[in-house]
């Protein structure tokens, strides 16, 4: 009898039928520039992230979980494709007018899930390009998220600090008045339009480096934009807005198909514009405040999953696209009010860096009642989500560089990857076992503007992370055989 009910999905009215299906719902909660040390479950003592901590306490907290790159676009590219971002020369920080960098013919994680019967959704930051070249923001902007596998997509095109500062829904700018068309240009300003550079008196937030073009809501941005007044987002409401869309999506799930939701939150990327109810809450300035805001959003989102009775049938993966940065181009007190907080935890470097803090980020898997809580030191990468999730839902598909580590993500095995190529602004380094090798790179040792060590050196660097997590002791000269072994293994993958 029960088999019959399951097969036909005939369930008592009011009961969520996809509770009974085999494949779980899948949610990625993906933050932007959140560092390894920014979460109390990862050792932060100066700020509390109780809702993220709940995921960590009730799930598997990975101590060696990596983003695929130390910047946004390449990490997101790898998440969607299971391919190393350095294999695609276009996978680098994109302007708001960049074309879509994922070939619409290629397999992606949302497409794969769709084949397996999932409904798929993106809410939040996209930053993988839109259109094929020249975009007319007043018509449907495509290809975009819908064309690479998302049934529903509600998103910002690039970043908060880049124009256009509008939301899009399934290719259309939300709230656009056809009488006031949007124009966007990354080279030239529109005549007579104020800029952060020429009109600092119109800025409520001052730019430190870059970010001196069109001013929207008192915040000077990257790129120029004109028109589209009614469609412009409210920065302080962005967190609530995306949360609401994510919640609505979950609540709209009424049929028997499982769902995949990629909830790509914008915090704590610049400009940091907490809602007034979070202003001053961290004592650390806007950067700390938006981390608290993000944590609150996650708590609210979890409540919705609970209320909708999805908790026990939903796998949640929590992570960040790259490591932390304090001053990323605005004067916003991130440096001045930091106090004793260490966004990178014990790691060296930060966003843009080949050192650990560039890519080693908070990484948690949570599935109430199915995943046994624990801490795992296994080496895992976001790159591996593609093949792992594929196996979870019964697909044979694999991402080109993605390993099926589903049993590791479920906390059932501690055997993660043996090796991983790390990436930062198109440069690459190599992790194998406990060792990391960074080849010589020209370029500054430090990005002085953001005050982050980039990992560049004229010499090979070799670190043993098992006893030197802070990458203080370069062992390249002491361990020539190890260096040789690492360089050779790296070349085999990297091809040069
Ligand atoms: C940099 C921006 C930085 C940030 C980053 C992208 C300047 C000077 N700096 O070019 O503020 O927007 O791009 O961040 O413009 S990411 O997290 O999306 O990769
Ligand atoms: Ca980022």
Q: Is the CB of 438 under 6 A from ligand 1?
A: no
Residue 194 CB-density burial (10 A; 0-12 exposed, 13-18 middle, 19+ buried): middle
d(CA 314, CA 486): 39
Task: Please answer whether residues 422 and 322 qualify as being in contact, where contact means their C-beta atoms are separated by less than 8 angstroms.
Answer: no
According to the 3-state scheme, what is the secondary structure of the chain? CHHHHHHHCCCCCCCCHHHCCCCCEEEEEEECCCCCCCCHHHCCCCCCCHHHHHHHHHCEEECCEECCCCCHHHHHHHHHHCCCHHHCCCCCCCCCCCCCCCCCCCCCHHHHHHHCCCEEEEEEECCCCCCCCCCCCCCCCCCCHHHHCCCEEEEECCCCCECCCEEEECCEECCCCCCCCCEEECCCCCCCCCECCCCHHHCCCEECCCCCCEEECCEECECEEECCHHHECCHHHHHHHHHHHHHHHHHCCCCCCCEEEEEECCCCCCCCCCCHHHCCCCCCCHHHHHHHHHHHHHHHHHHHHHHCCCHHHEEEEEEECCCCCCCCCEECCCCCCCCCCCCCCCCCCCCCCCCHHHHECCEEEECCCCCCCEEECCCEEHHHHHHHHHHHCCCCCCCCCCCCCHHHHCCCCCCCCCEEEEEECCEEEEEECCEEEECCCCCCCEECCCCEECCCCCCCEEEECCCCCCCCCCCCCCCHHHHHHHHHHHHHHHCC
| Contact status, residue 201 vs residue 193, Cβ threshold 8 Å | no
pLDDT of residue 496: 60
Q: Do the Cβ atoms of 335 and 354 come closer than 8 Å?
A: no
Ligand 1 pocket, residue 69 CB under 6 Å? no
pLDDT score of 1: 29
- pLDDT of 312 higher than 70: yes
Distance CA 70, CA 53 (A): 23
**Spatial separation of the C-alpha atoms in residues 479 and 481, rounded to whole Å:** 6
* Domain assignments of the chain as residue spans, ordered by start: 25-175+232-416, 183-226, 420-494
CB 72 near ligand 1, within 6 Å: yes
Contact 57, 373 (CB under 8 A): yes
Give the model's confidence band at 150: pLDDT under 50 very low, under 70 low, under 90 confident, else very high. Answer: very high
Superfamily designation of domain 25-175+232-416: Alkaline Phosphatase, subunit A (3.40.720.10)
* Ligand 1 pocket check for 209: Cβ under 6 Å: yes
pLDDT of residue 12: 42
Would you say residue 7 has pLDDT above 90? no
CA of 210 to the centre of ligand 1 (A): 9
- Give the per-residue pLDDT at 267: 98
| Residue 495, pLDDT score | 81
Altogether, the residues listed in the chain come to a count of: 496
Contact indicator for 64, 357 with CB cutoff of 8 Å: no
Ligand 1 centroid–CA 352 distance in Å is 9
Ligand 1 atom 17: the closest Cα is on which residue?
72
Which one of the ligands is nearest to 352 CA? 1
Whole-number Å distance, alpha carbon 328 to ligand 1 midpoint, is 7
Probe target for ligand 1 pocket from 222, 330, 350, with the most ligand atoms within 8 Å of CB: 222
State mean pLDDT over 126-130. 98
Nearest to 224 by CA among 297, 154, 164: 164
State both tokens at 38. Answer: 């920014």
State the chain's mean pLDDT as an integer. Answer: 95
pLDDT in tens, 16-47: 444 434 799 999 999 999 999 999 999 999 99
Using CA atoms, how far apart are residues 23 and 389, in angstroms rounded to an integer? 10
> Tokens in use for 250?
């979950």
Preceding peptide of 437 cis, ω within 30°? no
Give me the architecture of the 420-494 domain, per CATH.
2-Layer Sandwich (3.30)
* pLDDT of 331: 98
* Residue range 434-483, pLDDT digits in tens: 999 999 999 999 999 999 999 999 999 999 999 999 999 999 999 999 99
CA-based max dimension of the chain: 74
| Position 71 pLDDT exceeds 50 | yes
378 CA to middle of ligand 1, Å? 30
Which pLDDT does position 18 carry in this prediction?
44
Q: Report the DSSP pairing between strands 215-216 and 219-220.
A: antiparallel
pLDDT surpassing 60 at residue 398: yes
The model carries a pTM of 0.95
pLDDT at 255: 86
Kindly state the average pLDDT of the residues 226-253.
98
Whether the pLDDT of residue 210 is over 80: the answer is: yes
End-to-end CA distance of the chain, in Å? 61
Output the pLDDT for position 254: 87
Shortest-distance Cα residue to atom 3 of ligand 1:
328
Q: Over pLDDT 90: what percentage of the chain? A: 94
What φ, ψ does residue 198 adopt, rounded to 5°?
-90, -20
Which residue's entry shows tokens 């004592």? 283
Q: What is the mean pLDDT of residues 215-233?
A: 98
In the predicted structure, residue 317 carries a pLDDT above the cut 80: yes
- CB-facing half-sphere around the CA of 280: CA atoms within 13 A: 2
């Amino acid at each position: 009898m029960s088999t019959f009910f399951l097969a036909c999905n005939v369930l008592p009215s009011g009961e969520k039928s996809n509770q009974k299906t085999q494949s779980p719902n899948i949610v990625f909660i993906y933050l932007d520039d959140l560092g390894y040390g920014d979460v109390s479950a990862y050792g932060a003592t100066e700020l509390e992230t109780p809702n993220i901590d709940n995921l960590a306490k009730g799930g598997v907290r990975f101590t060696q979980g990596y983003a695929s790159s130390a910047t946004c676009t390449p990490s997101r590219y790898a998440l969607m494709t299971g391919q190393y971002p350095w294999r695609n020369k276009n996978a680098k920080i994109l302007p708001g007018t960049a074309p879509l960098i994922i070939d619409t013919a290629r397999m992606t994680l949302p497409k794969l899930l769709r084949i397996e019967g999932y409904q798929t959704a993106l809410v939040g930051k996209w930053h993988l390009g839109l259109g094929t070249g020249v975009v007319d923001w007043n018509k449907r902007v495509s290809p975009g998220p819908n064309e690479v596998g998302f049934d529903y997509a509600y998103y910002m095109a690039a970043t908060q600090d880049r124009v256009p500062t509008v939301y899009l829904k399934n290719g259309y700018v939300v709230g656009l008045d056809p009488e006031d068309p949007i124009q966007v240009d990354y080279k030239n300003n529109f005549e007579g339009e104020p800029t952060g550079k020429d009109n600092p008196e119109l800025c409520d937030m001052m730019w430190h480096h870059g970010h001196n073009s069109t001013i929207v809501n008192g915040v000077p941005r990257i790129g120029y934009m004109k028109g589209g007044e009614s469609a412009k987002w409210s920065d302080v409401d962005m967190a609530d807005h995306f949360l609401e869309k994510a919640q609505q999506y979950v609540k709209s799930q009424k049929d028997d198909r499982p769902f995949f939701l990629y909830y790509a939150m914008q915090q704590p990327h610049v400009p940091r514009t907490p809602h007034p109810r979070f202003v001053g809450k961290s004592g650390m300035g806007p950067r700390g405040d938006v981390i608290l805001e993000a944590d609150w959003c996650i708590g609210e989102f979890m409540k919705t999953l609970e209320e909708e009775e999805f908790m026990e049938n939903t796998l949640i993966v929590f992570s960040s696209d790259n490591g932390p940065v304090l001053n990323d181009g605005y004067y916003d007190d991130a440096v001045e009010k930091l106090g004793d907080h260490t966004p990178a935890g014990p790691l060296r470097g930060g966003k843009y860096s080949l050192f650990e803090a560039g890519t080693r980020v908070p990484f948690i898997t949570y599935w109430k009642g199915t995943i046994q809580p624990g801490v795992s030191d296994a080496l895992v990468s976001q790159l591996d989500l593609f093949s792992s999730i594929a196996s979870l839902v019964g697909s044979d598909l694999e991402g080109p560089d993605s390993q099926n580590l589903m049993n590791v993500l479920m906390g059932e095995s501690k055997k993660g990857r043996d090796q991983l190529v790390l990436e930062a602004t198109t440069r690459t380094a190599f992790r194998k076992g406990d060792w990391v090798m960074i080849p010589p790179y020209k370029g500054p040792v430090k990005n002085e503007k953001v005050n982050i060590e980039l990992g560049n050196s004229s010499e090979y660097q070799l670190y043993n992370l098992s006893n030197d997590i802070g990458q203080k002791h370069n062992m390249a000269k002491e361990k020539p055989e190890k260096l040789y072994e690492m360089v050779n293994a790296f070349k085999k993958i990297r091809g040069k």
